[in-house]
Amino acid sequence: MESFLGIPTEGWKALSIWLAVIVFPWTYSLYMLRRIDKSGVARWGSRYPKRENKEGEKEKEVAL
């Protein structure tokens, strides 16, 4: 088989390397950054989430 879906065999090798080296780590790092942001861990440059008080009004962001 010389080609699949119009892409030569050498092209599939290059695409698989590209996916493994660039796309997978990039998406995983975005996933981890989102988890860190949602964890509530205070870090430099981050903002604290706005919280609602008992009356349903939003409180101002307060850095500790």
Tell me the backbone φ, ψ of residue 7, rounded to 5 degrees.
Answer: -110, 125
pLDDT, tens only, 24-37: 888 888 888 888 77
9-28, pLDDT tens digit by residue? Answer: 788 888 888 888 888 888 88
Q: Where are the beta strands (DSSP E) in 21-62?
A: none
Return d(Cα 50, Cα 42) in angstroms, integer.
14
Cα–Cα distance for residue pair 37/29, rounded to 1 Å: 12
> Global pTM?
0.38
The residue extents of the domains of the chain are: 3-38
